[in-house]
Structure 1
């Protein structure tokens, strides 16, 4: 049975999900249950249009073997709530349909109050997998695996059913609890660029260019201190930006942490010091192919955790997580090895 349920309502955000997908129906259903969480407004509404076009192929590849449910998000953080509900009810997979932001929200739904969300009832033995149908503006996460942006290829990958455990990063020290990331988190210039890029999403991939230009206006390199793997504090002077990678790409195809992999068991930290706007322009070709690590002012660390603080408390230093600004320093970034199963 394929159930195409409607959009959530503010009064009852799970009403359609309950109707088509609940623990009682799972116990009697011989088929596996996949929940697709769709951001219809992604890529300026193109995600919703492309999703409709994909449905015949989705039915062809999965319709006979799975019970499929869709759920449209209507606001921030709703994808996480839908995901938690689906996991508790025993979903075999929750699949993000959208860009890196939608993937991040679904990923965060696999956790609550710092712990993994459990399936409904100990007798289910359910291990919910994370999936992705890329239909967003940037879709940087898929580049690490060399996947194409064709959503039909993503459906084929899900249909093959190969699941592997991947590492997940977690950011703590923020109000509202931990924030999880699967791709790249960053601070200072890169995070400020992300903040401004979000204001130009209507321009598609050009949003990253406009965001970067605006971030450079008034930017100044600052002194931070960092603590790697609970070691002693270290001072970083004239710091331009710090990127913490669980995967390789961000910003619409920049290979910022080229040694990172969500199956490596560590986070890759790339630190830029004493860079100006013209340095980034000059080195842009190297940034896109990931050959910038040997450049002057660039250093790399492989870590399990890193704490970052600003030395000047009067400065509000932006922090971003998978393309979404989540606040300011101080923060701690840690790795949760092999913590989520994903279709690969």
Structure 2
């Protein structure tokens, strides 16, 4: 979308929103916008520059707006943590799912939610999103459009809802958090390769999938749901842990998931061949694949997954970010973040 052609009234004609025009509060809302200027092959930075004057106008003089541009991987995590400690009312991710992923991880430190410097009570800073990235899959679960002006209107309104976040743990490693979908094996391998081709837009997911198929072998996995008994899942092609519904540029892989449900949807694809994906790809995108043979869907608040052979060859990713290999445990943190929606 080209920001110069926004179909909105001119600034001189548009009144301030009612909740920002009043003077009943002694201070404005402190909003921190974290922008990845290199996102979507530089498109995020260009569109943000065009969007910023409109954003400042809509939020008026009763909001304190801070703009933070990321300089590299994990920078958004550090910015978010500092913003929360300094008492920001909201931290808004501007970009794609990768930027949102880092901002979500910035809400936590040492396995606990970050709190303000002068408070031991976490959860007072809200999370916001202006989707300007390649995939923007998380926004699809809420039915949000790719129009950033709509996202600004949500921020102006300021309504919030508590949402769940997933946490991924491995013995001897730091906890890792995700808001959208974590996945294992073929889909994670495809995402790993796709990340190298972001300059091609959504085509990167197709390229990544083609590369992942070369040399792929379905794997036997051991899985434990909700701290129950270990089960053997033979010939697993991919396993997806959904806090939300979409990944891979619009594939509705966990169609029953929602970030306010208190549970994951765990979808397992078993013994898929390359031709199965060609013939059934449309069902993976429209979310009707759960009735296909060798596709299993379960609801869970925790799931542990490990390889039977322990060969360190099964990829793991979350929100499109590569994490390494199995084993891993995935657990839900219900209603842990307040999100502007």
1:121 aligns with 2:118: yes
C-alpha deviations, 1:276-314, integer Å up to 9, x for none? 111011101111110000100000110000000001112
Q: Aligned residue for 2:36?
A: 39
C-alpha deviations, 1:227-255, integer Å up to 9, x for none? 00100000000110000000000000000
The partner residue of 2:284 within 272, 287, 298 is 287
Which residues in structure 2 correspond to 1:271-282 (within 5 Å)?
Answer: 271-282=268-279
Q: Aligned residue for 1:6?
A: none
3-state SS, counterpart of residue 165 of structure 1: strand
Q: Aligned residue for 1:159?
A: 156
Q: Aligned residue for 1:341?
A: 338
The structural deviation recorded for 1:124 is 9.2
The partner residue of 1:179 within 152, 176, 180 is 176
Q: Distance in 1 between matches of 2:334 and 2:310?
A: 32
The structural deviation recorded for 1:257 is 0.2
The partner residue of 1:245 within 220, 224, 242 is 242
Which residues in structure 2 correspond to 1:62-77 (within 5 Å)?
Answer: 62-77=59-74
The structural deviation recorded for 1:37 is 0.4
1:215 aligns with 2:212: yes
Say if 1:40 and 1:73, in contact at 8 Å, map to a contact too. Answer: yes
Post-superposition, which runs of at least 4 consecutive aligned residues in structure 1 deviate over 2 A? 122-126
Say if 1:183 and 1:322, in contact at 8 Å, map to a contact too. Answer: yes
Q: Distance in 1 between matches of 2:190 and 2:175?
A: 22
The structural deviation recorded for 1:60 is 1.3
TM-score, structure 2 as length reference: 0.91
Q: Aligned residue for 2:18?
A: none
Is 167-176 or 333-342 further displaced after alignment? 167-176
The structural deviation recorded for 1:30 is 1.1
1:191 aligns with 2:149: no
Say if 1:91 and 1:126, in contact at 8 Å, map to a contact too. Answer: no
Q: Distance in 1 between matches of 2:239 and 2:172?
A: 21
3-state SS, counterpart of residue 283 of structure 2: helix
Say if 1:174 and 1:327, in contact at 8 Å, map to a contact too. Answer: no
When residues 29 and 81 of structure 1 are mapped into structure 2, their CA distance, relative to the original with a 3 A threshold, is farther
Say if 2:35 and 2:70, in contact at 8 Å, map to a contact too. Answer: yes
Say if 1:238 and 1:273, in contact at 8 Å, map to a contact too. Answer: yes
Q: Aligned residue for 1:61?
A: 58
Q: Distance in 2 between matches of 1:238 and 1:135?
A: 37
Q: Distance in 2 between matches of 1:219 and 1:197?
A: 16
Say if 1:306 and 1:332, in contact at 8 Å, map to a contact too. Answer: yes
When residues 123 and 229 of structure 1 are mapped into structure 2, their CA distance, relative to the original with a 3 A threshold, is closer
Structure 2 unaligned blocks of 5 or more = 1-24
Say if 2:115 and 2:121, in contact at 8 Å, map to a contact too. Answer: no
3-state SS, counterpart of residue 61 of structure 2: coil
The structural deviation recorded for 1:63 is 3.0
Say if 1:226 and 1:236, in contact at 8 Å, map to a contact too. Answer: yes
The structural deviation recorded for 1:174 is 6.1
Q: Aligned residue for 1:296?
A: 293
1:146 aligns with 2:143: yes
TM-score, structure 1 as length reference: 0.90
The structural deviation recorded for 1:175 is 5.3
The partner residue of 1:309 within 290, 294, 306 is 306
Q: Aligned residue for 2:104?
A: 107
When residues 310 and 54 of structure 1 are mapped into structure 2, their CA distance, relative to the original with a 3 A threshold, is same
Structure 1 unaligned blocks of 5 or more = 1-27
The count of corresponding residues between Structure 1 and Structure 2 is 317
Which residues in structure 2 correspond to 1:14-33 (within 5 Å)?
Answer: 30-33=27-30
The structural deviation recorded for 1:53 is 0.5
**RMSD of aligned Cα (Å):** 1.5
Q: Aligned residue for 2:12?
A: none
